[in-house]
Chains A and B, each alone.
Chain A
């Protein structure tokens, strides 16, 4: 594992993302409300640019009673959806929402002296 510098923190403000090439890998780095995430930009499904996809919250549903419409709502987990086919991954863990045996590599993001680093 090595710490690779990415950019100055000011270059990735909240709500922004950056796609970088590191050691031959395409990696996406995200700043979501001040929390940083990083994931492989290669979808394990068909190799799509998953880190260019939509970030939202996991859709959940509760069975609230026999004969009642299921209550749908968004949960706290952030999810990243590959734009090619919609495979969705937990942004923090990289685990596919529909099959825990599938996951997208994710990387730890750290800050040293106002510089963002990814551990790869």
Chain B
């Protein structure tokens, strides 16, 4: 036990891998290209794809002094930083997500880099970072552009104790994730008892900027939400939970208020257009109530009874996973849950660690 009297499992923190850490895990000629673009010590993300626009820190208003100090002590975002992050957050176990995966959607062409990054990240993490004995886990980023290669990655690493899921970035896959193109990925994940985490990311929000939205608050509020909304709609209406009934499905990083919105909106239209979703044997909301959701960034209304109602509408705290998103700008510490007067002690423990145990086995 750390700083809380509860056991706490963080289901979504981020490993801020630099390409300098991954470069040795890339095959040639990509390794040389990356080093050639800016030198091995400074292997630049520009060598892979452009970064998202927008100033996360609100031009210096949001600061991570403690994170700067952690990086100084660890020599950057290195594996050595993770115990400090866990101590700072007060978590007993942590699921580190790939930073580079979040913008996979920027790769549109017949391009191997999503697959290369996914394999390099996974191999690096297994080699240098994950340590189940210390509660440090990660997920295999899944290159949705290349389902066959995603399946190969799942089959290759699912047996590893440190790999607790496969992760999709929800921004930008075309076609969306309910398409049969992705069936083999779901089949492999189900067969390997590997949860699939659908995680909103910044890859698509550049398109909002390009469309003329001016502030990061606009692109972030819309982009992270709409990415998850579009994918959950596709998954449910195309019947992925019917095709793969034992597949564990998790959505992360859009808060929780969007979930009942989608449940009720989908149900309302399903009653009018049921013939367009012929694989379904129950209402869309019933499938959503079998899924799991990371809480971050948790919306906390002035009247907490509204939040309580949202939690009840989606099936209770059994659906919710504590997730920090640290060190990103809008992270939630465990106190986002421990401070909630609307939850019982058992419900707090369920969100903080119980659901993670059920989903990820950690």
Residue numbers of A with Cβ under 8 A of B are 45, 58-61, 63, 66-70, 72, 85-88, 96-99, 102
CB distance from A82 to the nearest CB of B (A): 9
Main SS class of interface, A? loop
Compute how far the CA of A63 lies from the CA of B242 in the bound complex, rounded to whole angstroms.
Answer: 9
- A58 vs B283: C-alpha distance when bound (angstroms): 16
Q: What residues on B are CB-neighbors of A60 within 8 Å?
A: 278
Is A86 a contact partner of B278 (Cβ separation < 8 A)? Answer: no
Smallest CB gap from B274: residue in A = A98
Task: Assess whether B279 is in contact with A67, with CB atoms less than 8 Å apart.
Answer: no
B184 within 8 A of A: yes
Q: Knowing A68-B180, A69-B180 are in contact, say whether A63-B272 is a contact too (CB < 8 A).
A: no
9 examples of A-B residue contacts, CB within 8 angstroms: A59-B275, A61-B279, A66-B187, A70-B279, A86-B273, A96-B271, A98-B270, A98-B271, A99-B271
Instruction: State the CA gap A58–B275 with chains docked (Å).
Output: 8
Contact with A along B30-67 (1 / 0, CB 8 A): 00000000000000000000000000000000000000
**Distance in angstroms between the alpha carbons of A45 and B270 in the assembled complex:** 13
B180 touches A70 (CB 8 A): yes
* Chain B residue, CB-CB nearest to A73: B278
Contacts of B271 in A (CB 8 A): 45, 87, 96, 98-99, 102
CB of A119, distance to nearest CB on chain B (Å):
28
Task: Give Cα A67–Cα B270 distance, bound, in whole angstroms.
Answer: 24
Inter-chain contact A63/B270, CB cutoff 8 Å: no
The CA of A21 and the CA of B21, in the complex, are separated in Å by 78
Please name 9 further chain A to chain B contacts, defined as beta carbons within 8 Å, in addition to the given A70-B239, A86-B273, A99-B271, sorted by A numbering.
Answer: A60-B278, A63-B239, A66-B183, A70-B279, A86-B272, A97-B274, A98-B270, A98-B274, A98-B283
| Residue pair B272, A87 in contact (C-beta under 8 Å) | yes
Cβ contact within 8 Å between B183 and A67:
yes
CB distance from B234 to the nearest CB of A (A): 14
Q: How far is the CB of A55 from chain B (nearest CB, A)?
A: 14
Which of chain A's residues have a CB closer than 8 A to the CB of B239? Answer: 61, 63, 70
> CB of B243 within 8 A of chain A?
yes
- Interface: B72 (CB within 8 A): no
B140: min CB distance to chain A, Å: 19
Q: State in angstroms the CA–CA spacing of A85 and B270 once bound together.
A: 11
**What are the 10 tightest A-B residue pairs by CB atom distance, in nearest-first order?**
A61-B278, A98-B274, A59-B275, A86-B272, A66-B183, A67-B183, A66-B187, A85-B272, A97-B274, A98-B271
B265 within 8 Å of A (CB atoms): no
A72 touches B278 (CB 8 A): yes
Q: Is B181 among interface residues, defined by CB-CB distance under 8 A?
A: yes
A34 → B minimal CB distance (Å): 26
In the complex the two chains form, is B181's CB within 8 Å of A67's CB?
A: yes
Most A Cβ at <10 Å: residue of B243, B273, B278: B278
Closest to A79 in B: B275
Chain B positions 139-184 with a Cβ under 8 Å from a chain A Cβ: 180-181, 183-184
Contact of A59 with B278 at beta-carbon distance under 8 Å, contacts A67-B180, A70-B180 already known: yes
